[in-house]
Amino acid sequence: MLNFALRRLSFCVRRGAGFSAYRAVHRAARRSAHWPILVPALVPAFVASPARADDANPDSTLPTVSVSASASTSAAAPAVDPNLPASVETVTRDQFANWNVVNTEDVLKYMPNLAVRKRFIGDLNSIIAVRGTSNTQSARGLVYADGLMLSNLLGNSYSFPPRWSMVFPDEIQQVDVIYGPFSALYPGNSLGATVLISTRMPKQFEANADVKAFTQHFSLFGVNQSFNGSEASASIGDRVGKFSYLLGVNHLENTSQPLQFATLAQSGTPAKAGDTPVTGAYFYNNQTNTPTAVLGVNGEGIEHTVQDQFKLKMQYDFTPTLQAGFTLGYWHQTYDSQTSTFLRDANGNPVYSGNVSIGGYHYTIPAAALAPSFGHSENWLYGVSLKTRNATGWNGEAIASYYDIGNSVARTANAGGPGNGPGTVLFGDGTGWKTLDLRGTYTPVSTQAGLGNHALSFGYHYDNYFLDNQSYNTLNWRDGDAASFANAFTGKTQTQALYAQDAWRFLPRWKLVYGVRYEDWQAYDGAQSLPGQTIAYSDASQRHFSPKASLSFDVSDDLVLRASIGRAYRFPTVSELFQGQINGSAIVNNNPHLQPEDDLSKELSAEWAHWNGVFRFSLFQDDVKNTIFSQTDTTVIPNVTNFQNIGKVRSRGVETSYSGEDVMVRGLDLLASVAYTQSKIIANAQNPATVGKYFYRIPLWRANIAATYHFDARSALTLAARYSGRQYNTLTNTDTNPNVFGGTSTYTVADVKFTFKPTRISEIGIGVDNLFDARYFVYHPYPGRTFYAEAKLRL
């Protein structure tokens, strides 16, 4: 009886709330001790519906049945829009509560065909990579938290990650990942994926505390030591009448493994007179199999980071169907990247630069090769929303946000070694973005197929990104005042969009979702400056229509087939257009004449509800014209390296995934996926040698699995693994030795976590990431084996 009811429920929610609702209901019901109450509550709904008529007439349709279940202290996250014409994967609080999660992006670690470039706990540069989008193409992904934009579209590289730190894991209820740009509701930056984070609000008084400690031992070249960190968070919330609030704080402190090493190609020049003989260098063959000397830890070095977060969310229900919300987020971060040299002279003194002799050969070490850095930033997020929540008929929503980088300072020394000598200081104050989204929707009262069954969405979007960076020379790189002006660049982009989308069930088993998005993009106020010299750029603008369409067919109660196609335009960011340097009268490392990326995406998918879960199989292809990427134009002399338009990049592949509960045995939950992606350069006039080569950092294979076994209501064990296949760190595919520092590794990493609840209000957890201490690289080394200990208290 129970399985029959769930199968019929899955049929209904696929037409209403989608497969994610089926999973949520099944999860909540299975965890509940009140099956005898839940099942009788569901059965009358099916009995009262024309179920028998459906058996006699296959064209009849069951009415949508909505069932929700949530903990008494938090609201259930809303189901993802059932009319999204795309593949959607969901992870819930119940699932990631049993994983090693410290930062918000960790909840995505086992999603199908998706990886997070996270180099250490607290890494600022955590970028998502999905399908044919690499982990340096940050502007090809969108991240929202309760409708507020967290995507940093000021640039398109590892330096512009989403602002994950404006959400702490304990407040997350659910995360949905939408693959591809098939919905008219989202900008062309959805070319890769759109991440929708839904957070919780209290239903009654609650107070929570969470403390974590973690450590890793790391050994590579001249480093062999342990690196430690901790995180503490607390929150308090309540609902009083129509008003609810949640207030949270979070403190993170961590020291990373070495992220970068100073290297020089192995020399064949004999030592010269005046060279300082040194020892301590290490040698290895780099990613191109070139013999290379390792001199020490440089650049980003061993990074110590301290991050503090404050978050306040408030909601007020004016009526049962009209709700207002307010969000205030604050995040402060400091980092201190220490460098060290492996080199020692005959007296044992450290050597950081100059002409040296290593093994009888001559080397010249640049002064800045082992230079440390230090910085801090202060960030504010403001958000307001007003929305209606009618079950059917018309609804409206208005969301406005403002992200302000109020104080940003980055300091770098001109040379390595002790002391506070000269350096540079970069100020990024006044940088940020503003957004406004207005949306109206209509949900038909009846689910019967026909001309009247149209679910409508339409709206207006506005965003404004503004960048202002100024660099100065200073006599004391660590805390000295700005002295002489060095350089600066500024710029702004603005996008306004109108969109409309209709989901039409024109026959009982057929649904057509179609829409169009019109975008008006502008870049303006772009300029670069040197002392006594300023170059202003002309304004730029583009206007494009992006049509979308998706046709789905319900083969049976448990199987849905869908074909989707969509065009998307990803417009250039401020940094791609304007950021660079001025060398005399020549401008390098920027391109104010970039064209937008023009993508045509296609997908065929099947979703099958079976074995207490959902299988998905997808075929996809992205054809992107004018791909924006930093490369070298080899057709001009001298060669120019900057952001350029690559003629065409094609990415095609296949994904399979499964998400289920009580798989084979009661208490075993399983997430599993395997994906193959082939991403190749089809046309590239500026660098013909890259044509036919694999695109940058797109692994051929990805596979993830996470199995959680619930021994009982108090304890659970998770075993998980992540696999990433061969990928290239160069457009010419010349990195033939990828599994070393400077390369991009093939890797298999295993994770484990055990959780136990001693009492109703307490929980402890112990875990390990990278269980077998694999040494793998994304140019930088990833962390070694990392141990976690966690304690929670919930009142």
- Condensed to tens digits (0 to 9), the pLDDT of residues 78-113 reads 556 778 899 999 999 999 999 999 999 999 999 999
Integer Cα distance of 369 and 382 in angstroms: 40
The total number of structural domains that make up the chain? 2
Determine the pLDDT at residue 447: 67
Please indicate, yes or no, if residue 394 is contained in any of the structural domains: yes
Please indicate, yes or no, if residue 319 is contained in any of the structural domains: yes
Integer Cα distance of 297 and 596 in angstroms: 38
Unique residue bearing structure tokens 């009140």: 34
* Pair (186, 310) in one structural domain: no
Please indicate, yes or no, if residue 95 is contained in any of the structural domains: yes
Please indicate, yes or no, if residue 248 is contained in any of the structural domains: no
Helix (H) or strand (E) segment spanning residue 599: strand 597-610
Integer Cα distance of 618 and 652 in angstroms: 11
* Pair (30, 146) in one structural domain: yes
Integer Cα distance of 432 and 409 in angstroms: 15
277, with CB counted inside 10 A (0-12, 13-18, 19+), is middle
Structural domain of 664: 302-335+367-736+753-770
* Pair (178, 307) in one structural domain: no
* Pair (184, 308) in one structural domain: no
CATH of the domain at 91: 2.170.130.10
Six-digit token string for 335: 């980092």
Contact present, 668 and 662 (Cβ < 8 Å): yes
Please indicate, yes or no, if residue 92 is contained in any of the structural domains: yes
Is the N-terminal amide bond of 161 cis, ω within 30° of 0?
no
Six-digit token string for 703: 């596979």
Six-digit token string for 220: 């590579």
* Pair (309, 180) in one structural domain: no
Strands (E) located in 46-192: 88-92, 114-117, 127-130, 141-145, 148-149, 172-179
Unique residue bearing structure tokens 């199968």: 7
Strands (E) located in 508-573: 510-530, 533-536, 540-554, 559-570
| CB neighbourhood size of 69 (10 A) | 15
Please report which residue ranges of 655-712 form alpha helices under DSSP H.
Answer: none
User: Where does a domain end: 170, 199, 228?
Assistant: 199
- Extract the residue ranges of the chain whose pLDDT is less than 50: 1-77, 582-587
User: Where does a domain end: 151, 183, 199?
Assistant: 199
Determine the pLDDT at residue 80: 65
Determine the pLDDT at residue 76: 42
CA dihedral 771, 772, 778, 779 (to 10 degrees): 130
Determine the pLDDT at residue 73: 38
* Pair (192, 328) in one structural domain: no
Buried b (16+ CB within 10 A) or exposed e, 32-57: eeeeeebeeebeebbeebeeeebeee
Inter-helix orientation angle 2-15/19-31, to 10°? 150
Helix (H) or strand (E) segment spanning residue 8: helix 2-15
Contact present, 369 and 262 (Cβ < 8 Å): yes
Angle in degrees, CA 577, 133, 88, rounded to 5 = 125
Residues 6+ apart with CB under 8 A from 87: 178, 179, 180, 603, 605, 616, 618, 655
Please indicate, yes or no, if residue 150 is contained in any of the structural domains: yes
Determine the pLDDT at residue 450: 66
Determine the pLDDT at residue 471: 94
Please indicate, yes or no, if residue 232 is contained in any of the structural domains: no
Determine the pLDDT at residue 1: 35
Six-digit token string for 418: 């002790």
Determine the pLDDT at residue 26: 44
Determine the pLDDT at residue 53: 35
Six-digit token string for 679: 């991403």
Determine the pLDDT at residue 39: 35
Determine the pLDDT at residue 590: 73
CATH of the domain at 681: 2.40.170.20
Integer Cα distance of 81 and 66 in angstroms: 14
User: Where does a domain end: 199, 226, 261?
Assistant: 199
What is the reported pTM? 0.90
Determine the pLDDT at residue 579: 79
Please indicate, yes or no, if residue 714 is contained in any of the structural domains: yes
* Pair (317, 187) in one structural domain: no
Strands 282-285 and 291-319: antiparallel
